[in-house]
Amino acid sequence: MKVILDMDPGVDDALALILALNSKELEVLAVTIVAGNTSLSNATINALRVLELIGCDVPVAMGESKSIMGYELAMPFTFIHGYDGLGDLNLPIPNKKAESIHAIDLIIDKLKSHSYGEITIIATGPLTNIAKFIIKDYEVAKKVNQIISMGGAFNITPYGIGNQTPVAEFNIFRDPEAASIVYNSRLNVTAVGLDVTMNPSIFIDKEMHKKILEKDTKTSKFVANIIKRSIENYGFFAPHDPLAVAISIDPKLVKIMPLHVKVETKGEFTRGQTIIDKRWWVKKKEDEKSNVNVCVDVDGKRFLDMFMERVVENW
Ligand code: RIB
Ligand code: CA
């Protein structure tokens, strides 16, 4: 499967990139960058760092630093990502440079040069780049096989509560208008929300972190070091973005429900909330039937086995 990764590296984005590059089922055509966990420039440098570390030559293009409404997207969450977005390891500045083309145009070019249904987009940051490419060329956007978006808190499982506000997940909260555009695009959208990514069965806990450190290889030390802040601050690391990539490799890792999702863009306390109408007795109009495939359960053990084998051990 050919994939384009749109991300805001970000520690878990970096691990998702490693998983994708290290999976023979995927061919990474491009990495496009959006601000979020850190600034657009830092996120770009971090993606280039990971590609250089792994020795992969994949085009990287910079996208949006501001949301659809013009707000700054970057909101560094240093307790997990550090100040530079990659755990403040002071990794060398990469020799590899980003492409001169804008992320949105690179996505459009890749879709134009491939057949219908050949490319899956995996978005692990705010959805600004994705919304803007859909708006810019909807006919081309319809060629996409699937958009897998890490984002949302759908209040379906006990874990599906917010992480930026009591009800909003970070990627959606940074650009709710973009999320609404993507969710209502009528494209094949799968949402990997906190309902599954905050399920403790997928967490890397202190014990697992110790095991990763004990492997004492270049790769295991890199992984152990970039997740260290989260382990120290919270006692665990939640691999949100690697799960989104894992689902493109093995969709059976999750249970999915087609649901109708509205994104709140106005509420003083609810902006960025992803709302599902659970009223089973209410007859829904055609345009209120499902618009998003929402992940509602996950096989944590099988996911962690894949993560350990492909992110920690073999690259
Ligand atoms: O809420 C978690 C998501 O927000 C992850 O994608 C993380 O990298 C941040 O972008
Ligand atoms: Ca991310």
Whole-angstrom distance, CA of residue 279 vs CA of residue 299:
28
Q: Which atom of ligand 1 is nearest to the CA of 241?
A: 6
On whether the CB atoms of residues 151 and 127 are closer than 8 A, the answer is yes
Instruction: Identify the pLDDT of residue 301.
Output: 98
Non-local (6+) Cβ contacts of 182 within 8 A are 123, 127, 130, 131, 134, 147, 149, 189
5, 11, 64, 171, best to mutate for ligand 1 pocket (most atoms within 8 Å of CB): 171
Q: What is the pLDDT of residue 313?
A: 84
CA 276 to chain centroid: 21
Q: Which ligand is nearest to the CA of 37?
A: 1
Q: How far apart are CA 127 and CA 285, in angstroms?
A: 27
Q: What is the pLDDT of residue 255?
A: 98
Q: Is the CB of 124 under 6 A from ligand 1?
A: yes
Q: List the chain residues with pLDDT less than 50.
A: none
Q: Which atom of ligand 1 is nearest to the CA of 238?
A: 2
Distance of CA 237 to the CA centre of its chain: 15
How close is the Cα of 170 to the center of ligand 1, in Å? 6
pLDDT confidence of residue 298: 98
Domain count along the chain: 1
Q: Domain range for residue 105? A: 2-313
Closest CA to 239 of 146, 312, 144, 180: 312
Query: Angle 88-89-95 (CA atoms, 0-180°, nearest 5)?
Result: 105
* Residue listed under structure tokens 């051990």: 313
- 241 Cα–ligand 1 center, Å: 7
Task: Note the pLDDT of residue 72.
Answer: 98
The enclosing domain of 300 has a CATH number of: 3.90.245.10
Q: Is the pTM of this model over 0.95?
A: yes
Residues designated as active site: 240
- For residue 195, the CA-to-ligand 2 centroid distance in Å is 16
- pLDDT, residue 281, reads 85
The pLDDT score that the predictor gives to residue 287 is 76
**Pocket perturbation via mutation, ligand 1, pick of 15, 150, 192, 236 by most ligand atoms within 8 A of CB:** 150
Q: What one-letter code names the amino acid at 298?
A: V
Does the CB atom of residue 150 touch ligand 1 within 6 A?
yes
- Pocket lining: 175 vs ligand 1, CB cutoff 6 Å: no
> Per the structure block, which two tokens stand in for 284?
């829904």
Alpha helices in 137-234 (DSSP H): 138-141, 170-174, 176-183, 194-197, 206-215, 218-226, 228-234
Q: What is the best residue among 11, 13, 67 to mutate for testing ligand 1's pocket, by most ligand atoms within 8 Å of CB?
A: 13
Q: Give me the pLDDT at residue 289, please.
A: 81
Q: Which atom of ligand 1 is nearest to the CA of 36?
A: 10
